[in-house]
Amino acid sequence: MMPMNRRTALAGGAAVVLAAACGQGEPKDAGSFSAPATPPAFRDGMAMAAAIAAGETTALAQVEAAIARARTVEGQINGIVTETFELARSDAGGVLSGPFAGVPSFIKDLIDWRGAPTLKGSRGLTGHRATADNVFAAKWRSAGIVSLGKSATPEAGLISSTEPLSNGPTRNPWDISRIPGGSSGGAAALVAARVVPFAHASDGGGSIRIPASTCGVFGLKPSRDRLPYSEPGAIPPPLQISVNHAVTISVRDSIALFRAAETQASGYPMLGEVQPLARRLRIGFAPEPIGGTQLHPETRAALEDVAQLCRDLGHTVIDYTIPMDGPKFTDAFITYWAAGAADFARQVSEYSGKPISPEIVEPWTLGLAGLASERMADLPGIVGYLLAFQEEYHAFFSDLDLLLTPVTGSPAVPVGEQGPDGDFDAVMDSVLSFVAYTSPMNVAGAASMSVPLSWSPADLPIGAMFSGRRGDDALLFELALELEAARPWVGRKPPVTAL
Active site residues: 108, 183, 207
Query: Looking at beta carbons, which pairs linking 123-126 to residues 24 or more positions away fall under 8 Å?
Result: 123/17, 123/19, 123/20, 123/21, 123/165, 123/166, 123/359, 123/360, 123/361, 124/348, 124/349, 124/351, 124/352, 124/354, 124/359, 124/360, 124/361, 125/348, 125/351, 125/352, 126/21, 126/22, 126/24
Contact in structure between 324 and 290 (CB atoms under 8 Å) = yes
Phi and psi at residue 326, to the nearest 5°: -60, -50
- CA of 143: how far to CAs of 136, 251, 269, in Å? 11, 18, 20
Look up residue 116 and give its DSSP letter.
Answer: S
**Strand-pair partners of 150:** 82, 107
- Name every residue whose Cβ is closer than 8 Å to that of residue 398 and which is 6 or more positions away in sequence: none
DSSP 326-367: HHHHHHHHHHHHHHHHHHHHHHHHHHHTS-SSTTTS-HHHHH
Q: Label residue 34 exposed, middle or buried (CB < 10 Å: 0-12, 13-18, 19+).
A: exposed
Nearest-angstrom CA–CA distance, 186 and 172? 9
Q: How much is the CA Rg of the chain, to the nearest whole Å?
A: 21
DSSP label at residue 392: H
